Amino acid sequence: MMKNKKQIRRKFRDDTFGRDDYKCRRCGEDFSEQDFPEHYLDAHHITDRKDMPNGGYVKENGISLCKENFNGEGLLTDSCHMLAEKFHISGGTEWEKYMHPDDLYELIGSSKELAIEKSLEL
């Protein structure tokens, strides 16, 4: 694996956020004007790190998802990140509509196969 883990994680986050223009790819919330967008966005691994070569720290396996979500009345709801995590938490048996890994790869123009290929290059 190239560099150290901290550098790899930072590059993954920066590449993912940059490609997604600092917006949540699910709800569209824009965090580009925030001083620390990483406080509001998560660079989510579409396929779990443990299931990818070298941890899958490539933008082809990452998607920007908000860490907090508010409904129209200002009440905190499940974040897009936590909606995507349901797949991982359930061991791949449950997921929210449009939050299956295949749906997330489609949102970013990638695939699990491409993510594996790029991860092998780390």
Give the model confidence (pLDDT) of 82-112 as tens digits: 999 999 999 999 999 999 999 999 999 999 9
Q: Answer yes or no: are the C-beta atoms of 61 and 102 closer than 8 Å.
A: no
> What is the reported pLDDT for 1?
46
Residues 6+ apart with CB under 8 A from 79: 65, 66, 67, 68, 69
Give the 3-state secondary structure of residue 41: strand
Q: Answer yes or no: are the C-beta atoms of 115 and 46 closer than 8 Å.
A: yes
> What is the reported pLDDT for 69?
63
pTM as predicted: 0.89
Residues paired with residue 66 on neighbouring β-strands, in sequence order: 41
> What is the reported pLDDT for 71?
52
Low-confidence ranges of the chain (pLDDT < 70): 1-3, 69-77
